[in-house]
Structure 1
Amino acid sequence: MENEFKRVMSERTDEELIKIVTVERERYNPIAIEAAESEIEKRKLNISEFGEIIEEATIEKEQKQKVDSNVVSSGIRFLNFLIDFIIWLIIATILTMPLGANNGSQMLLGYVIMFLVFIGYYGIMEVKFQKTVGKFITKTKVVKLNGEKPEKGDIITRTFCRLIPFDRLSFLFVKNGFHDSLSKTKVIKDQTK
């Protein structure tokens, strides 16, 4: 196993090695740390010359810890879901009611409208505000893993991932559901005043 660690560490960049033996040290097995330190010596790297890397990694680690400490519970997530589901249902009903259900094409158009309302509701709200109505009420918001505001692409991915079958049930098994994990986002308490 020690040889495996040596091989893995020999494939790491100088920057990765520095992070492993400094700010990420507690995440690694002691044998892996030894292998990383050995590789640093082998490459004749001077850790003191990598102050900027260490500083950036420390800031990144602190941001991640802050985000992780503010992740909301599954209960709050479920409340967000219920509120947003009701809002979506009301909007979809208002927009599809005039169509009636006289024939198949009207029903199909109704389903298309419901789908577009779903995508539009979550997409527009989260791109513009980082929150839906449910998140406004529960004082939560969507962020990237490092705490920054998500890009439009992150929100679009997040919104379409909500369509994955059993996405809503994924919160029963993991802290972040499928649409969070796949879009690399989290829902945290909104600390803004």
Structure 2
Amino acid sequence: MENDYPLNSLEQVFSDLTPGEEYLIPVSSSTRFFNYLVDLVGMLVFGFLFGIFLATMGAEEILNKMPNQLLGIFLLFSYYVLLEGITGRSLGKLVTGTKVVTLEGEEPSLNTIVKRTLCRLIPFEAFSFLTSNQSGWHDRFSKTMVVRIRK
């Protein structure tokens, strides 16, 4: 199979692109990792605030009876579905100027965000980034990607 582009340099690859047109280019693995670290801190803060909320409502016994794994799943699911479902961006994506889009470049539906978030719960999902450049299973199974927002 013959390539349409001689891949001698990135300049040659992008020479046919129309100026001013927006292109979906997935962000780097290092940006994705930084997003993860910021989101991890965001989920911890979210969990802390949720605990304070329950304590002020007199419902701290809910936390005492709930298994830690179930609480973690609830917090992860709530964090990502609320933020990405409403804005397409988690705190990490907000900090790095990135956003979740479908492979066609459109805003993902709430169902897509739920599917993406459920895929994060697959054991060892974080290691799926080792087998691919910039996408994990939660990207591939939900047919989404993270791109830089151009202004």
Considering the TM-score relative to the shorter chain, is it more than 0.5? yes
In the TM superposition, residue 181 of structure 1 has moved relative to its aligned partner by 0.2
Q: CA RMSD in A?
A: 2.7
Correspondence 1:95-134 to 2 at 5 A: 95-96=50-51, 98=55, 99=60, 106-108=64-66, 111-134=69-92
The structure with the largest alpha-carbon Rg is 1
Consecutive aligned runs of 4 or more in structure 1 exceeding 6 Å deviation:
none
8 Å CA contact 1:143–1:185 kept in 2: the answer is: yes
In the TM superposition, what whole-angstrom CA distance separates every residue of 1:113-154 from its partner, at most 9, and x where no partner exists?
A: 432221111011111111101000000000000111111111
Give the letter for the 1:167 counterpart.
E
Residue 167 of structure 1 and its aligned partner are, at CA, apart by: 1.2
Distance across 2 between alignment mates of 1:126 and 1:94: 19
| Unaligned ranges ≥5, structure 1 | 1-24, 28-62
**Alignment pair present for 1:184 and 2:143:** yes
Distance 1:162 1:146 in 2: 22
Task: Specify the alignment match of 1:76 in structure 2.
Answer: 31
Report 1:24-173 matches (<5 A). 66-67=23-24, 70-96=25-51, 98=55, 99=60, 106-108=64-66, 111-173=69-131
In structure 2, distance between residues paired with 1:26 and 1:140:
34
Identity %: 35
Conserved 8 A contact 1:125-1:132: yes
The TM-score with structure 2 as length reference comes to 0.73
Flag the structure with higher helix content: 1
With normalisation by structure 1, the TM-score equals 0.58
In the aligned structure 2, how far is the partner of 1:165 from the partner of 1:110?
16
In the alignment, the residues of structure 1 paired with residue 146 and residue 75 of structure 2 have an alpha-carbon distance, to the nearest angstrom, of 22
